[in-house]
Amino acid sequence: MENKRNFLAGLYASMYKIRRFEQEAVKLFHNKELPGWLHSYIGEEAVAVGVCASLNRDDYITSTHRGHGHCIAKGADLKRMMAELYGKETGYCKGKGGSMHIADFSIGILGANGIVGGGIPIATGTALASQYLEDGRVTVCFFGDGASNQGGFHESLNLASLWKLPVVYVCENNLYAETTPQADHQPIRDIADRAKSYNMPGVIIDGNDVLAVYEETNKAVERARAGRGPTLVECKTYRYRGHWEGDPEVYRTKEEVKEWKKRDPLKKFKKYLLENDIIQSKEISFVEKKIEDEIKDAVKYAQASPPPRPESALEDLYVEQGG
């Protein structure tokens, strides 16, 4: 019981952490403190958190241009993430990657990716390695509705199912690929239907319901871990902010956004926790407060960190070998 309580509280904390990290990043971005671009995950938190709740520390994930949520849910360090957004030496990639290329290989985060769909073959490959090495790990591959039209999606799912690889393909269908509504980029509504092309199970989930996401993907993860092959999981969700910060959002109405906000994954889950007496309001405030502090610390850390040495731009390209 206590275990379950902690587990659920953890889900909430993780979602809240993503929400606040993203809000902070957005603020800093518009303050012109962050170089580069920013794709916010706000509104989609239940997907990353629900999915990663099934994963072990050494399981793998591949992420996307909209990757902060995946990283936080998988356990990435906020300080090093924020430092990377600032392009500082202390960032995950020493300032070389930025928002679109955060990775933490020590906990299986194989990297965000600037190429839409670029991580799908890679996830297939780490799953191949796990099967080969019999290391019991599972790979989760995150990607968007837009990415499901890439050739690499098709080739990868075919290969993974053929070889029964331990990978779960999680499609975050937020109804848009950049400015293009789903109906203008594919002639289907349920991307999970594409699973049939590869003779693998396809599952549709309410991506704003963290428990539903957890329960369904957990089955897929266990299936993969048991050697029964990949699953395509589609989480229907929505992003609140523009595709990137600065997006004029000409392609959707304020009403639509408002409508989706009514189904906010955080509010919904908080209500559930409170109404079922799983957690007290005071405790939630306490958790939230702790996260606020953590984020402040992360920002301070990032700001105080030195920029990379210019010459470090020439490092890290090749592994230096003996012999």
Partner 1 sequence: MREITFREAIREALDEALRSDAKVFLMGEDIGPLGGAFTVTKGLFDKYGRKRVRNTPISEVAIVGAATGAAMAGLRPITEIMFCDFLPLAGDQIINQAAKMRYMFGGQVKVPLTIRTILGAGLSAAAHHSQSNEALFMHTPGLKLVIPSTPYDAKGLLKTAILDDNPVIYFEHRCLYDSKGPVPENSYSISFGRADVKKEGRDVTLIATAEMVIKSLSVAEELEQEGISVEVIDPRTLNPLDMETIYESVKKTGRVLIVHEAVLTCGPGAEIAARISEEAFDYLDAPVKRLATKDVPIPMAPVLEDFVIPQKEDIKIAIKSLRNF
Ligand X SMILES: Cc1ncc(C[n+]2csc(CCOP(=O)(O)OP(=O)(O)O)c2C)c(N)n1
Segment 265 to 294, residues that bind partner 1, using CB under 8 A: none
| Per CB under 8 A, 154 contacts its own copies | yes
Q: Which residues pair with residue 60 across a beta bridge? A: 139
Choose the binding region for partner 1 from 20-28, 70-78, 131-139, 220-228 (rule: CB under 8 A): 131-139
Of these, 5, 30, 132, 193, which contacts partner 1 (CB under 8 A)? Answer: 132
Report yes or no: 110 and 61 within 8 Å, Cβ to Cβ. yes
| Per CB under 8 A, 202 contacts partner 1 | no
65 vs 270, beta carbon nearer Mg ion = 65
174 vs 208, beta carbon nearer partner 1 = 174
- Spell out the residues 6+ positions from residue 277 whose beta carbon is closer than 8 angstroms to its own: none
Map residue 304 onto helix, strand or coil.
Answer: helix
- Spell out the residues 6+ positions from residue 262 whose beta carbon is closer than 8 angstroms to its own: none
Terminal-to-terminal C-alpha distance of the chain: 57
16 vs 198, beta carbon nearer partner 1 = 198
Q: Which of 215, 195, 266, 271 lies closest to 237 in space, CA to CA? A: 266
Q: Is 168 left (phi over 0), alpha (psi -120 to 50) or beta?
A: beta
Report yes or no: 57 and 107 within 8 Å, Cβ to Cβ. yes
| Per CB under 8 A, 123 contacts partner 1 | yes
Report yes or no: 73 and 55 within 8 Å, Cβ to Cβ. no
148 vs 174, beta carbon nearer its own copies = 148
- Cβ of residue 137: shortest distance to Mg ion, in angstroms? 27
Of these, 61, 82, 147, 191, which contacts partner 1 (CB under 8 A)? Answer: 147
Question: 66 contacts which partner out of partner 1, ligand X, its own copies, none, CB within 5 to 8 A by kind?
Answer: ligand X
Interacting residues toward ligand X by CB under 6 A: 65-66, 114-116, 143-147, 172, 174, 176-178, 243
